[in-house]
Amino acid sequence: MTSTIEPEVGRSRLRKEDERLITGRTRWTDNLTLPGMLHLAVLRSPFAHARITSIDVSEAKTKPGVVDVFTGADFADEQGSLPCAWPITEDQKAPDAPALAVDTVNFAGEAVAVVVARSDYEAHDALEAIEVDYEDLPVVLDMEEAIKDGADLVHSALSTNTSATWIFDSSEAGTGGEVEAAIADSEVVITRKFRQQRLIPAFMEPRSVVVDPTGGQFTMWSATQIPHILRLMLAMTLGVPEHKVRVIAPDVGGGFGGKLQVTPEEVIAFLAARRLGRPVKFTESRSESLLSAHHGRDQIQHLTLSAKRDGTITGLKVELLADMGAYLRLVSPGVPILGAFMFNSIYKIPAYRFVCTNVFTNKVPTDAYRGAGRPEATFAIERMMDELAAELGVDPLELREKNWIKHEEFPYTTVAGLTYDSGDYEAATAKAKELFDYDGLRHEQAERRERKDPVQLGIGISTFTEMCGLAPSRVLGSLSYGAGGWEHAAVRMLPTGKVEVVTGSSPHGQGHETAWSQIIADQLGVPFEDIEVLHGDTQSSHKGMDTYGSRSLTVGAIAAVKAAEKVVTKARPIAAHMLECAEDDLEFAGGKFTVRGTESSTTIQDVALAVFAAHDLPDGVEPSLDSEATFDPENFSFPHGTHLCATEVDTETGRVTVRSYVCVDDIGKVINPMIVEGQVHGGLAQGIAQALFEEAVHDEGGTLTTGTFADYLLPSAADLPSFTTDRTETPSTSNPLGVKGVGEAGTIASTPAVVNAVVDALRPYGVHDVEMPMTPMRVWQAIRTGQADAGGVGAESGGGLGSIDASSGGAQ
């Protein structure tokens, strides 16, 4: 009997995780109640920068239901400093980051005291009885001001607001030429200044943590993306033995990088539970979340792009200011560095220099947010390509094509020193152009311009690549990242032939249970339904690097493949023994060991039962089919794609409508097309939201004025169009499945596509840029400023960034 099992990989399998989610039987951390559990509420600083002169908690302690009240002084000896795992330079300045402020507060929202009470309502009531006296300190909010000589300081002990300056120079690295010389020798040079506004990850499930200290074994449930790293960091920061800590990330309601953190609240809940010897729960409100969970992006980017008249790019210089906020969190300093490798994108650029200055301000810390560094870079280069095309008077797509790496040139080592393994930008672009009706829309655009239609049409392009699968450990090491990039997995054959796959990757909506089941079903030839995927618990998955940077599939799932291969290898001598043949005579396919050229066979599931009984195993064979494996790839993977966006811009009101959006992504081999499509949709929504809606805004005092969902505008269904998504498939050569990763692609590519489309619509009005988010007000103002400029000095001069001076020099 030959097996005709259809491969699972490539099928749109409906998700295993859905049942509990659609029926409301989900294991959110906040759903958990333990016997004797107490509730913790946090008092937060209303000031962005102040000295705490006194805190009086005596009255709060007498309030109904209150068990105890703690301040920073209570935990000063044990709380340590929240960890930063990425010292990007040897002389990086990193202030102490206490979970509970001790004598100063450095951002509005910083925790200053906590109440632990019988109920959440009682804990919040008692917060009001805490008296804190503050003495104002000067507030530093503006990065450009912060780096000037004599600026007020965020941390006076550091005597500077600069945390670190990090440089990559292609002439020093030997990956390209000297950029100043390249620029000096070029026929066309454009300089622009862009602002990456501050965003808030805004996962829908507020952060929640429960700590149970029973028996000196600390079990922490947390809505986190990183249970493994969190466990390690708690052990290292708080001096608690690692083997006494178990971290469980049950169902987690979204992360987007926002739950890639060791949070003050996790540490405080841990300390409170340890002090009181009882389980403690903390769940943040949405306002607390917006105020104090880390923010993302927030850069000022100065770019210089040089080219020949024929459009050939000759050099790229990037100078960044990156806002760290008040403290360095887990990977804050490294976020802009991830972008350093992506500013050159898919283009052949002969000379490149990147300088980044990480700056402290009195704002909530920034850290990873979907794409982390790569959206910022992609935005900047894709905007510059459009600006260069406008300057040269050529079609922006043609300009890109002239400069991009051609299909036959892969593998290709870029000016930033990365080797792109595979890609086919021609194929993705051709498909996208056709689906989009590029020529038809250009035609319509010309017509609308001709008849001075008040609603103008703009076409935005973003051809992008990203580095996925944050791994090769040695590369991360060379960037001083504090951990490796491998991932771990185990495959356990149970006696009845069912399979448990344990993964160190810890999902929060990505569908690992389904995708990993598909992959392992093919590897072992067992049914999809016979596989259970375990994750997010350091007791079952004792090793792991967790989920961020689109690494789950490209690194995590490959570890599972390796573990499955070991299971087959272990089963082989046992199957040979059972079938009384030589090992070399065995074939394994579709879950079956067959003696070559005969009908004689046994399944791997039968072998599992034989192993369990262990009555008759070959000599010296261990009675186990369980295996584990760790995978550390040789290279990143490089998904790419072409995104095309058509926007209609009402020149009278400034209103922008996304009329159509087409993207063709190449993410290599696809495990589950349905899940991939969903990830792309969600990513696009987040990227479009950066272009049009979202921004964290502070007033002059440093108070967050977008502290609720009424002010921080997430797009609703009515704000977005339906997207047309498609794929090309150029397998990655960096891993055995040929997968590339997709979690961040949509977000990375869509922001510049939308901004380019709006600017494209408005070029006849003398507009060269519109600052994000492109609210109707900003668009309207850009049109007015553009027209005034065009009337005065000619439409083609200068960058024009609304209120920002585009002619100013570098970031230094």
Partner 1 sequence: MRITVNVDGTSYTDEVEPRQLLVHYLRERLGKVGTVVGCDTSNCGACTVHLDGHSVKSCSVLAVQADGCEVTTIEGIARDGKLHPVQQAFHDNHALQCGFCTPGMIMQSIDLLADNPDPDEQAVREGIEGNLCRCTGYQNIVRAVRDAAHHMRPGAGPEAERVEDGSGLRAPSSIGGGE
Which lies closer to ligand FES via its Cβ, residue 682 or residue 764?
Answer: 682
Stretch binding partner 1 (CB under 8 A), from 83-91, 329-337, 707-715, 762-770: 707-715
> Of ligand FES, partner 1, none, which one does residue 406 interact with (CB within 5 to 8 Å by kind)?
none
Among 508, 592, 643, 768, binds partner 1 (CB under 8 A): 508
Q: Does 674 bind partner 1 (CB under 8 A)?
A: yes
As given in the structure block, the two tokens for residue 23 are: 């029926």
Q: Does 718 bind ligand FES (CB under 6 A)?
A: no
**Least Cβ distance, residue 723 to partner 1 (angstroms):** 6
User: Cβ distance 320 to 165 under 8 Å?
Assistant: no
Residues 182-211 that bind ligand FES (CB under 6 A): 204
Among 8, 205, 424, 665, binds partner 1 (CB under 8 A): 205
d(CA 701, CA 140): 9
d(CA 370, CA 232): 23
Which lies closer to ligand FES via its Cβ, residue 28 or residue 412?
Answer: 28
Which lies closer to ligand FES via its Cβ, residue 202 or residue 245?
Answer: 202
Binding map of ligand FES across residues 489-528, x = CB under 6 A, - = no contact: --------------------x-------------------
d(CA 344, CA 317): 10
Phi, psi of 689 (to 5 degrees): -65, -35
First to last CA, the chain: 72
d(CA 477, CA 497): 41
Which lies closer to partner 1 via its Cβ, residue 120 or residue 532?
Answer: 120
**Least Cβ distance, residue 613 to partner 1 (angstroms):** 37
> Of ligand FES, partner 1, none, which one does residue 22 interact with (CB within 5 to 8 Å by kind)?
partner 1
Among 254, 482, 736, 764, binds ligand FES (CB under 6 A): 254
> Of partner 1, ligand FES, none, which one does residue 681 interact with (CB within 5 to 8 Å by kind)?
partner 1
Q: Does 10 bind partner 1 (CB under 8 A)?
A: no
Which lies closer to ligand FES via its Cβ, residue 373 or residue 509?
Answer: 509
- Which residue from 504, 500, 515, 516 is spatially nearest to 608, judged by alpha carbons? 500
**Least Cβ distance, residue 683 to partner 1 (angstroms):** 8
Computed on alpha carbons and rounded to an integer, the radius of gyration of the chain in Å comes to: 28
> Of partner 1, ligand FES, none, which one does residue 635 interact with (CB within 5 to 8 Å by kind)?
none
Q: Does 131 bind partner 1 (CB under 8 A)?
A: no
* Residues 6 or more apart whose Cβ sits within 8 Å of residue 335: 296, 322, 366, 367, 368, 372, 373
**Least Cβ distance, residue 25 to partner 1 (angstroms):** 7
Q: Does 18 bind partner 1 (CB under 8 A)?
A: yes
**Least Cβ distance, residue 709 to ligand FES (angstroms):** 7
- Which residue from 754, 712, 740, 781 is spatially nearest to 637, judged by alpha carbons? 740
**Least Cβ distance, residue 629 to partner 1 (angstroms):** 28
Which lies closer to ligand FES via its Cβ, residue 254 or residue 776?
Answer: 254
User: Cβ distance 321 to 811 under 8 Å?
Assistant: yes
**Least Cβ distance, residue 297 to partner 1 (angstroms):** 16
Which lies closer to partner 1 via its Cβ, residue 333 or residue 549?
Answer: 549
- Which residue from 546, 486, 545, 483 is spatially nearest to 510, judged by alpha carbons? 546
How many CB atoms are closer than 10 A to CB 443? 11
d(CA 380, CA 373): 11
- H/E element, 57: none
> Of partner 1, ligand FES, none, which one does residue 256 interact with (CB within 5 to 8 Å by kind)?
partner 1
Strand-strand pairing, 50-56 and 208-212: unpaired
- H/E element, 386: helix 374-392
Q: Is 249 left (phi over 0), alpha (psi -120 to 50) or beta?
A: beta
Q: Does 718 bind partner 1 (CB under 8 A)?
A: yes
DSSP per-residue string spanning 760-782: HHHGGGT----PSS--HHHHHHH
- Which residue from 364, 354, 355, 339 is spatially nearest to 196, judged by alpha carbons? 339
Q: Does 741 bind partner 1 (CB under 8 A)?
A: no
**Least Cβ distance, residue 54 to ligand FES (angstroms):** 36
Q: Does 673 bind ligand FES (CB under 6 A)?
A: no
Which lies closer to ligand FES via its Cβ, residue 204 or residue 718?
Answer: 204
Angle at 611 between CA 605 and CA 614, to 5 degrees: 150
- Which residue from 173, 138, 662, 72 is spatially nearest to 414, judged by alpha carbons? 173
Give CA torsion, residues 645, 650, 651, 653, to 10 deg.
-130
Which lies closer to partner 1 via its Cβ, residue 251 or residue 789?
Answer: 251
**Least Cβ distance, residue 550 to partner 1 (angstroms):** 14
Which lies closer to ligand FES via its Cβ, residue 497 or residue 509?
Answer: 509
Q: Does 717 bind partner 1 (CB under 8 A)?
A: yes
As given in the structure block, the two tokens for residue 163 are: 């945390």
As given in the structure block, the two tokens for residue 443 are: 């035609």
Which lies closer to ligand FES via its Cβ, residue 159 or residue 716?
Answer: 716
Binding residues for partner 1, rule CB under 8 A, total 55
d(CA 118, CA 124): 11
Stretch binding partner 1 (CB under 8 A), from 126-134, 280-288, 441-449, 611-619: 280-288
Binding residues vs ligand FES (CB under 6 A)? 204, 254, 509
Binding residues vs partner 1 (CB under 8 A)? 14-15, 17-26, 28, 30-31, 121, 202-206, 251-254, 256, 285-287, 508-511, 674-675, 677-679, 681-686, 708-710, 714, 716-718, 720, 722-723, 746
